[in-house]
Amino acid sequence: MVIRLAEPADLPAIAAIYDPEVLGSTVTLETVVRSPEEYRAWLRAHPPARHPVFVADVAGQVVGWASLTAFSPRPGYDRCAEVSVYIHAAHRGCGHGRALLQHLVAVAPSCGVLHLLARIEGSAKPSLALHAAAGFERVGTLRRVGEKLGRVVDVVLMERVLDA
């Protein structure tokens, strides 16, 4: 498996990983899948030097993706970025999620990011465990903050401070 920057040609594979979670789970509180043009705009909004999107590539097949996304448009928050990690359902449990998240942690300082934030749906045990294993600490819980698929859900905030 190699981790490399995402390219526009990867967007259909990224969508094939992310869209089922948008439509069928609460691990993301997005509810509407992006159009192809919206996916292209999303990638353009992630400049590689600042807020990169990476893919995990196994012999030419994209099996997962991860990104740094601006936490806030207010410049005073520029040191903080939100992490996202998604692995194709058929390729979970093989270490790809850990590798992608560790890669985000490793490259973040070179992107000017020294605070990583994860917002994780409260019952998403694999994600909570993945972030804890990558050194993220639980900050708190936003109780009953989200609602999707007929469920009201908590969201756990986890952070990793890189210059502590």
Residues lying near ligand COA in the complex (CB under 6 A): 21, 27, 85-87, 92-98, 118, 120, 124-127, 129-130, 133
Q: Which is nearer to ligand COA, 5 or 133 (CB)?
A: 133
Minimum CB distance to ligand COA, residue 40 (Å): 22
Minimum CB distance to ligand COA, residue 57 (Å): 14
Whole-Å CA distances, 102 to 19, 66, 82, 97, 163:
24, 10, 14, 8, 16
Radius of gyration of the chain, Cα coordinates, nearest whole angstrom: 15
Minimum CB distance to ligand COA, residue 75 (Å): 25
Question: Edge-to-edge strand order for the sheet containing 2-5?
Answer: 2-5, 53-58, 61-70, 80-87, 115-121, 151-161, 137-148
Angstrom distance (rounded) from CA 148 to CA 131: 23
Q: Which is nearer to ligand COA, 43 or 134 (CB)?
A: 134
Q: Which is nearer to ligand COA, 76 or 147 (CB)?
A: 147
Q: Which is nearer to ligand COA, 43 or 155 (CB)?
A: 155
Minimum CB distance to ligand COA, residue 104 (Å): 12
Question: Phi/psi at 71 (nearest 5 deg)?
Answer: -75, -40
